[in-house]
Chains A and B, each alone.
Chain A
Amino acid sequence: MTATMTPPNAPTPAEPPEWMLRRSVSAGRRVRNGLATMWMLLSVLAAMVPLVFVFGYVVQKGAHVISRAWFTKDLPIVDQFPGGGMKAAIIGTLVITLWATLMAVPLGVGAAIYLNEYGRHGRLARIIRFMADVMTGVPSIVMGLFVFAIFTLKYGLIGFGGSLALGALMLPIVIRSSEEMLRLVPDDLRHASDALGARRWHTVLRVILPAALPGIVSGSMLAVARAAGETAPLLFTIGAARNTNTNVFRGPNTALPLQIFNNATRPFDAAIARAWGSALTLVVIVFVFTVIARIVSARFSVRR
């Protein structure tokens, strides 16, 4: 497995480094090199182990819960009853995340435009950039408490509170990834547009944004994927509905991550099965977003 065992004449993807062919490299040095290579290889394998096991169990334990009713029926009246479906939570997750996206993406892209097209290396832009980086580190539960303090205490438990908390989590991610994409747009395009006498806002909207769009879309979708899987910001902001509620501005709501957390802490088989089913559904949703983001960025990016 280790590179040192490769015979010199074997067809290797890269040509073998010169030291491997020399007899003068002492056994001790070869062993140390082999151990180091082994460590790196084992690290990669070690990271795969949890991935395989988590996936395996989620699919195995979640799949048999999921049927047609899973997507068409609301939750049963009490958790210990079997039957019912997860429609309320699936719809809840989608609408709450949608509203979060509607807030975070325009704001985030706007901020990125300021940072890359106007502020650049100015003092204010540097502060905003730094704080956006720092904001990505704010724990999601703190976002939940924040929304509880400024919104839920006044307006009650509604889906929009969850959207606010998720939006606040997404905002810095969207800003930093969008700015990265705007920076990849060559300055030649800006100069060309300037030379034609276009105003700055015109240049940004008609030339720069279209050029950076695939990257911005893919970065935003990764932020959506991250937000859709968050539980902590929803714990004390959206309430606990059992029926589908598509209106985030009225009445309590529910979401898949919440259903996983709540059902996992109940001592009933039906509830635990429901938790695994919700986990499978959530993982599929998150992965669809992640994969689409990857495809968009791989298919449309010219400069990478």
Chain B
Amino acid sequence: MTSLTASERDAGRNLQGNGNAGDVWADRIFRGATLVAGLTVLAVLALIAYSTTKEAWPAFHHAGLSFVTSSRWDPAHNKFGALAFVYGTLVTSLIAIVIAVPVSVGIALFTTEVASPRLRRPIVYVIDLLAAIPSVVYGLWGVFVFAAWAQPKYQTVAGWVKHIPVLNTIFGGSATGRSFMTAGIILSFMVTPIITALTRETFATVAQDDKNAAIAMGATRWEMIRVTVLPRVRGGMVAAVMLGLGRAMGETIAVALVIGSSHQITTHLFSSGDSMAAVIANEFGEAQGDHRAALIGLGVLLFVITILVNMAARLVLRMTSRDNMGSRA
């Protein structure tokens, strides 16, 4: 970071007077080309927003606010209310987060505080493999293996809670293998590596001196983690959870295969439902006209939500890493 700025270095070179005009131009062209490459990111993002909104416009125009406030999705009658899908996206992502966060934090703590360096590497590799399995493979396994295995378990649980208030509104009702719960569980496998990697990164920023101090005061390992690590990483963990949430909300194919595709809003997690991304995947093939526009509209909605979640997460991450640097200086 102590290096000279680009313009200072260029100034030095120009004073040397040994560069011919062609060289100067080559440098400018090269810089310009890399700048254009960098600008494609901004161009693509802008183009995504513009082109999808343009294609979705007829649906937005036609449905107005009812696009997000109505749950009546009836392509045959040109009614497009996406509320049920928004609900499904939120519910499945929340289930995924609720399952994945404790597991991810546990893994991150194990690799940073407990495992020996020799054990650490293989664990990190294996967790990364979890992220390498394609979404559609999780979906295939989820629908043919997991959903079939889970259905009787769901039914047993639904039987247990039948007469318990509150619990029976969540776990009661008719239980099926292709459901919000199955989708959430499959999603939790997919977001665990992301949340683990990010929390591990923030855990690693905690100063060893602080940990040593806690141990020297007679703390057990857990007490050391509680007083030195956890308070320091709250921001990083919030960001990690948000990025995991963003990923879960955008996940398409696995959810499309296991969620059961029924347009309903229900508190019963063992019932089938649908999510924004899954509906696009399942219906786009046959869609024409306004129906297609409405599906692209769902994509616009998904894009806006995930972009906002990601921006917020990155800002939190940036702020907390700056704080940590400040405290260490």
Contact = CB atoms under 8 A, between A and B. Distances in A.
Contacts of A200: 6, 9-10, 13, 27, 30-31
Contacts of A287: 129, 132
A159 B314 CA distance: 34
Contacts of A54: 133, 137-138, 141
B181 to A, nearest CB: 15
A39 B38 contact: no
Nearest to B299: A145
Contact of B130 (A50, A109, A257): A50
Interface in A189-223: 190-191, 194, 197, 199-201, 204
A276 B140 contact: yes
Interface band, chain A: 35 or more
Contact of B40 (A3, A41, A171): A171
Contacts of A272: 144
B19 A199 contact: yes
Contacts of A119: 35, 38
A171 B31 CA distance: 19
A231 B30 contact: no
A57 interface: yes
Interface string A275-304: 110010011001100100010000000000
A2 to B, nearest CB: 10
A199 B51 contact: no
A99 interface: no
* B105, B134, B221, B251: most-surrounded residue (chain A CB, <10 A): B134
A115 to B, nearest CB: 6
A141 B134 contact: no
Contacts of B54: 149
Given A140-B252, A199-B13, A283-B137, A44 B116 contact: no
A286 B132 contact: yes
A127 B285 contact: no
Given A17-B215, A261-B253, A133 B134 contact: no
B325 to A, nearest CB: 15
Chain A facing B: main interface SS: helix
Which of B145, B216, B222, B243 is most buried by chain A, counting CB atoms within 10 A of its CB?
A: B222
Given A137-B243, A199-B23, A47 B303 contact: no
Interface string B290-322: 000001100100110011011101100000000
Contact of A199 (B5, B26, B141): B26
A41 B34 CA distance: 46
Interface string B4-46: 0110011011001011000110110111011111111110110
B116 A138 contact: no
B118 interface: yes
Main secondary structure of the interface of B (DSSP, over half): helix
Interface of B: 2-3, 5-6, 9-10, 12-13, 16, 18-19, 23-24, 26-27, 29-31, 33-42, 44-45, 47-48, 51-52, 54-55, 102-107, 109-110, 113-114, 116, 118, 123, 125-130, 132-141, 143-145, 189, 192, 196, 215-216, 218-223, 225, 243, 246-247, 249-253, 256-257, 277, 280-281, 284-285, 295-296, 299, 302-303, 306-307, 309-311, 313-314
B222 A32 contact: yes
Interface string A168-184: 10011001000000000
A139 to B, nearest CB: 3
A224 to B, nearest CB: 12
Given A142-B303, A199-B23, A199-B26, A232 B3 contact: no
A51 B246 CA distance: 22
Contact of A111 (B37, B133, B225, B251): B37
Nearest to A235: B281
Given A111-B40, A199-B19, A257-B253, 8 more contacts: A128-B42, A141-B252, A145-B296, A168-B44, A172-B41, A194-B12, A200-B6, A229-B133
B38 A128 contact: yes
B143 to A, nearest CB: 6
A118 interface: yes
A137 B246 contact: yes
A141 B277 contact: yes
B322 to A, nearest CB: 13
A113 interface: yes
A109 B38 CA distance: 9
A142 B12 contact: no
Given A107-B40, A135-B45, A40 B220 contact: no
B38 A114 contact: yes
A51 B126 contact: yes
Contacts of B250: 137-142
Most chain A beta carbons < 10 A, residue from B135, B251, B252, B295: B252
Contacts of B40: 107, 111, 171
A187 B39 CA distance: 25
B30 A201 contact: yes
Contacts of B249: 139
